[in-house]
Copies of this chain bind each other. A is one copy, B any other.
């Protein structure tokens, strides 16, 4: 068998939802085997993104949503006066681009934080398919609705929480998202810079740094560069005072 044929086979295999380790979290989660094949068929593979590469650019015409396969991304929304608001981090199984449906253009530039692979899902195909697959439709609604819910959580964080609470909430939230994806909830690597964290949480970089230092002194976490070890998740959750400490 020629090498390129094997390569082709392997590549196809990689994109198959049935063999994807994320299938229990991703869009097709509720589909039967044959329906999953139909879903599979509309997905487009993309070359992996390098760190810093943009997946979509703000105001580019909306055509697809993207499911993260591996790696992570950030969404930046820039408004007139130059400043860029970091509005979201995306981890594996999460959907990028849903906020572009309304206006028909992407609402922010989405940039890879590390080497990242995504599945491209053309939205018109997805919409057509969902016509006959109530489960897929429901899952799409849930994804949209969940993002709304997360944003509302952020609204509360930004309008009512102190800097300490924001950082605690951020770490606890990351922790539970990693846990859900089968990674350790206690030990992980931040793919984003301190500046990104500050931007996201509405804090200055210096404040992020200082508070992480304080958390370390208080034996809540051990931080070394971007490596994080959570030492006292319970106290951190209390600090975050988030309502639902163990949910992402």
Contacts and interface: CB of A to CB of B under 8 A. Distances in A.
Contacts of A107: 148-149, 152
A154 interface: yes
B101 A159 contact: no
Interface stretch (A26-34, A74-82, A208-216, A224-232): A74-82
A111 interface: no
Contact of A98 (B145, B155, B201): B145
Interface residues of A, number: 45
Given A98-B148, A142-B101, A148-B147, A158 B202 contact: yes
Contacts of A131: 131-132, 134, 137
Number of copies of this chain in the oligomer?
2
Interface string A3-33: 0000000000000000000000000000000
A99 B158 contact: no
A146 interface: yes
Interface in A79-138: 79-81, 83, 85, 87, 98-103, 107-108, 127, 130-132, 134, 137-138
Interface of A: 77, 79-81, 83, 85, 87, 98-103, 107-108, 127, 130-132, 134, 137-138, 141-149, 151-152, 154-156, 158-160, 199, 201-202, 241-243
Closest CB pairs A-B (n = 8) = A159-B202, A102-B145, A101-B145, A158-B158, A151-B151, A99-B148, A79-B243, A102-B146
